[in-house]
């Protein structure tokens, strides 16, 4: 051979070689026999339509095969891409033979190429050309016969997103975040979310009718990792009568292993909007009283709520905060809406610090229930530090004056050094549920008593799974009341076939700006294949260091 530059292999294992300086394409069968399938060895060009072995090629470079057995050749110095069918006939699929460039959008056989050196095919039969001296990659649509593979088997399910209660003429999100239990990745081009709206609801801009669909071309959904966005923007028009409207979401996937959890009913109650109020309608209170030692940092969490979903929109107002004795304001205050259908909505607050840290002035609009992004309550997280010369004790002489609202008391406590794990409070956030053989997660929340600093060092934390369940070994932590979130994996091992999970870590809290308020553990569990359906055993437990055992429960679907 003379400068072989490209190879490809067909489905039977035969090897094709671009024998560049011999101006031929060679084929080597699985038993080692070599033949020529295109080119007679003389550089040049012969018209299309004849036998490929009798034609001339000129420095052939790239090779690709389609599923019909046709061979595509980057015929470099002929400035063409040639096609040899399975019966040996050669044609041109791109290029006129004249070097140069012609604008896109016309027939490929009428365009000009300039040393096409590489070719490739995708699953849809589109041809891609490395047009070397034109410094471009060109695409020719639907030139090859390709059969897409069946989608790999996977068990998809949805995490429902619906607000239950919306105001008339309000936009909201409806649908599900699509997840996979595996075992294989799911190609998004084969996944379709179909939302059939109840009569009385309508889709967002760019949609028509009551049946909304979305596919996810270009995305991969891995087992137990990530989501596909099957959530749609919906409106309850002003003409919609008050009442409950039930829509249906379907998750369609050709390779789904378990169709029973792929259809969801999504009820939404539409109500008439209430009049918009100002800041005097707010209920404002300090969420917790922080306890820190002199020199340490923590935050005041001030919570704003409105009665029964009442819209509050006072506009931008001045909010003046005075720190309790022994504390000074420091850092950047933030806000967060934790109860929206979009997840947590956060941001920074415009502010200034005065009087050496004694006073904080925030200029912002504490609006609530005006859109789907500000529902429920808003929490201001205000960083503070205990002065190095602070005297231990509780101080209740701080205040928050929010516009024309009655001032609210702020309190803080100066303590000694950080506490050990006995100052922690551990609760199970929710009761996980899984069918036999399926996996889910425990979420445990750790907080400190009175928000005081806790820093016990690395300690053993022993988890026992409820009857019918076993731990998978996956264990992670997260501090979600700080920005940005602080997350990571826990040092964990399983024993007794998954019945016991042992975590070795330091569950520190409120020691600085990155571990404030609460620590969340997320632990993977699975329902055993022989678990009794319909039961909710509560005989699991967690023991954190020297803390008394805390019960754990889970439900078998």
343 has a pLDDT exceeding 90: no
The rounded distance, in Å, linking the Cα atoms of 294 and 444 is: 30
- Catalogue the E-assigned strands of 262-407: 263-271, 283-286, 291-292, 297-305, 317-322, 327-329, 334-340, 343-348, 350-354, 359-364, 377-386, 393-402
Q: Which pLDDT value is given to residue 364? A: 96
Q: Which pLDDT value is given to residue 75? A: 93
The rounded distance, in Å, linking the Cα atoms of 399 and 408 is: 5
CB 500 within 8 A of CB 462: yes
Q: What is the DSSP string of 216-252?
A: -TT-EEBTTB--EEEEEEEEE-TTPPSEEEEEEEEEE
What does the pLDDT average to over 110-121?
92
153 has a pLDDT exceeding 70: yes
301-328 as b/e, with b when 16 or more CB fall inside 10 Å?
bbbbbbeeeebbbbeebebebbbbbbbb
417 has a pLDDT exceeding 70: no
- 372-396: pLDDT as tens digits: 889 889 999 999 998 877 888 899 9
252 has a pLDDT exceeding 60: yes
Question: Which architecture characterizes domain 154-271 according to CATH?
Answer: Sandwich (2.60)
SS (H, E, C) 255-274: CECCHHHCEEEEEEEEECCC
Q: Which pLDDT value is given to residue 308? A: 73
Give the single-character DSSP code of 89: B
The rounded distance, in Å, linking the Cα atoms of 278 and 314 is: 4
Picking from 151, 187, 158, 175, the residue whose alpha carbon sits closest to that of residue 260 is: 158
What does the pLDDT average to over 524-533?
94
- CATH 2.120.10.30 positions along the chain are 4-140
Q: Which pLDDT value is given to residue 296? A: 82
What does the pLDDT average to over 11-23?
92
Q: Which pLDDT value is given to residue 147? A: 60
The rounded distance, in Å, linking the Cα atoms of 219 and 187 is: 6
Question: Under DSSP, is residue 123 helix (H, G, I), strand (E, B) or coil?
Answer: coil
439 has a pLDDT exceeding 70: yes
Pairing of β 500-505 and β 519-527: unpaired
Residue 302 CB contacts under 8 Å (≥ 6 apart), including other chains: 284, 285, 286, 287, 321, 379, 380, 382, 400, 408, 410
Pairing of β 291-292 and β 519-527: unpaired
Picking from 389, 366, 380, the residue whose alpha carbon sits closest to that of residue 288 is: 380
- CATH 2.60.40.10 positions along the chain are 154-271
| Distance from the Cα of residue 333 to its chain's centroid | 27
Task: Indicate the CATH number of 279-414 among 2.60.40.420, 1.10.357.140, 2.60.40.740, 3.40.630.10.
Answer: 2.60.40.740
The rounded distance, in Å, linking the Cα atoms of 134 and 112 is: 10
23 has a pLDDT exceeding 80: yes
CB 393 within 8 A of CB 414: yes
Residue 364 CB contacts under 8 Å (≥ 6 apart), including other chains: 316, 317, 319, 335, 349, 350
Lowest-pLDDT range, 167-181, 256-270, 447-461? 256-270
- 280-307: pLDDT as tens digits: 999 999 988 998 887 788 999 999 999 8
Share of the chain above pLDDT 90, in %: 67
Q: Which pLDDT value is given to residue 148? A: 58
Q: Which pLDDT value is given to residue 258? A: 67
Residue 19 CB contacts under 8 Å (≥ 6 apart), including other chains: 1, 2, 3, 4, 25, 26, 39, 60
Share of the chain above pLDDT 70, in %: 97
Q: How confident is the model at residue 162 (pLDDT cuts 50, 70, 90)?
A: confident
243 has a pLDDT exceeding 70: yes
Domain 4-140 sits in CATH 2.120.10.30: yes
**Mean of per-residue pLDDT scores for the chain:** 91
Q: Which pLDDT value is given to residue 138? A: 92
Picking from 400, 411, 163, the residue whose alpha carbon sits closest to that of residue 282 is: 400
Q: Which pLDDT value is given to residue 104? A: 85
CB 268 within 8 A of CB 165: yes
**Backbone phi and psi for residue 337, each to the nearest 5 degrees, phi listed first:** -100, 110
The rounded distance, in Å, linking the Cα atoms of 141 and 136 is: 16
503 has a pLDDT exceeding 60: yes
The rounded distance, in Å, linking the Cα atoms of 428 and 503 is: 16
Burial class, 398, CB count within 10 angstroms (exposed 0-12 / middle 13-18 / buried 19+): buried
Domain 421-556 sits in CATH 3.90.550.10: no
Burial class, 149, CB count within 10 angstroms (exposed 0-12 / middle 13-18 / buried 19+): exposed
The rounded distance, in Å, linking the Cα atoms of 347 and 345 is: 7
What does the pLDDT average to over 348-377?
94
What does the pLDDT average to over 446-474?
91
475 has a pLDDT exceeding 90: yes
What does the pLDDT average to over 176-204?
91
Pairing of β 283-286 and β 228-236: unpaired
Q: Which pLDDT value is given to residue 149? A: 57
Q: Which pLDDT value is given to residue 418? A: 66
Which uninterrupted H or E stretch holds 205? Answer: none
- CATH 2.60.40.740 positions along the chain are 279-414
Give the single-character DSSP code of 98: S
- 306-321: pLDDT as tens digits: 987 788 999 999 999 9
Residue 154 CB contacts under 8 Å (≥ 6 apart), including other chains: 180, 181, 182, 183, 184, 185, 186, 221, 223, 253, 255, 256, 257
CB 292 within 8 A of CB 452: yes
CA angle 339, 343, 345 (to 5 degrees): 80
Q: Which pLDDT value is given to residue 208? A: 83
Q: What is the DSSP string of 310-328?
A: --B---SEEEEEEPPTTEE
Q: Looking at mean pLDDT, say which of 33-42, 147-156, 161-170 comes out highest.
A: 33-42
Picking from 531, 551, 538, 550, the residue whose alpha carbon sits closest to that of residue 434 is: 531
Residue 529 CB contacts under 8 Å (≥ 6 apart), including other chains: 436, 437
Lowest-pLDDT range, 3-12, 164-173, 481-490, 512-521? 164-173
- CATH 2.60.40.700 positions along the chain are 421-556
Q: How confident is the model at residue 255 (pLDDT cuts 50, 70, 90)?
A: low
């Amino acid at each position: 051979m003379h400068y072989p530059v490209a190879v490809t292999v067909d489905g039977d294992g035969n090897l094709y070689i671009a024998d560049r300086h011999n101006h031929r394409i060679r084929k080597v069968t699985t038993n080692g026999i070599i033949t020529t399938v295109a080119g007679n060895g003389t550089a040049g060009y012969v018209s299309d339509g004849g036998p490929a072995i009798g034609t001339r090629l000129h420095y052939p470079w790239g090779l690709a095969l389609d599923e019909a057995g046709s061979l595509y050749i980057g015929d470099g110095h002929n400035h063409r891409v040639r096609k040899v069918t399975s019966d040996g006939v050669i044609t041109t699929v791109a290029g006129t033979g004249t070097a140069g460039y012609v604008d896109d959008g016309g027939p490929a056989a009428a365009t000009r190429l300039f040393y096409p050196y590489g070719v490739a095919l995708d699953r849809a039969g589109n041809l891609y050309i490395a047009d070397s001296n034109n410094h471009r990659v060109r695409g020719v649509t639907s030139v090859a016969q390709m059969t897409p593979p069946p989608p790999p088997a996977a068990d998809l399910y949805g995490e429902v997103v619906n607000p239950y209660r919306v105001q008339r003429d309000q936009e909201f999100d409806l649908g599900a975040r699509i997840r996979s239990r595996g075992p294989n990745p799911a190609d998004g081009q084969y996944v379709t979310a179909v939302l059939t709206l109840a009569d009385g609801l309508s889709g967002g801009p760019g949609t028509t009718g009551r049946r909304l669909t979305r596919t996810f071309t270009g995305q991969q959904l891995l087992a137990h990792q990530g989501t596909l966005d099957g959530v749609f923007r919906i409106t309850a028009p002003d003409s919609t009568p008050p009442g409950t409207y039930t829509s249906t979401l379907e998750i369609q996937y050709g390779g789904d292993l378990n169709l029973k959890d792929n259809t969801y009913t999504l009820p939404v109650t539409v109500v008439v909007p209430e009049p918009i109020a100002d800041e005097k309608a707010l209920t404002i209170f300090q969420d917790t009283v922080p306890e820190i030692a002199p020199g340490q940092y923590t935050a005041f969490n001030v919570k704003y709520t409105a009665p029964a979903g009442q819209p509050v929109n006072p506009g931008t107002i001045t909010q003046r905060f005075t720190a309790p004795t022994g504390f000074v304001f420091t850092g950047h205050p933030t806000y967060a809406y934790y109860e929206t259908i979009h997840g947590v909505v956060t941001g920074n607050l415009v502010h200034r610090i005065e009087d050496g840290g004694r006073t904080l002035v925030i200029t912002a609009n504490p609006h609530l229930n005006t859109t789907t992004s500000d529902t429920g309550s808003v929490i201001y997280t205000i960083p503070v530090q205990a002065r190095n010369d602070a005297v231990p004790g509780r101080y209740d002489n701080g205040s928050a004056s929010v516009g024309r609202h009655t001032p609210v008391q702020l309190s803080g406590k100066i303590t000694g050094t950080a506490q050990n794990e006995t100052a922690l409070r551990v609760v199970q956030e929710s009761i996980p549920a899984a069918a036999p053989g399926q996996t889910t997660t425990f979420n445990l929340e750790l907080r400190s008593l009175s928000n005081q600093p806790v820093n016990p060092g690395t300690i053993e934390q022993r988890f026992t799974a409820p009857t019918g369940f076993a731990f998978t070994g996956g264990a992670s932590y997260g501090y979600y009341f700080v920005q940005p979130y602080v997350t990571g994996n826990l040092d964990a091992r399983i024993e007794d076939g998954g019945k016991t999970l042992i975590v070795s870590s330091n569950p520190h809290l409120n020691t600085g700006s990155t571990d404030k308020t609460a620590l969340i553990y997320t632990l993977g569990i699975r329902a055993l294949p022989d678990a009794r359906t319909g039961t909710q055993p509560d005989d699991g437990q967690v023991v954190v260091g020297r803390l008394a055992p805390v019960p754990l429960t889970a439900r078998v679907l």
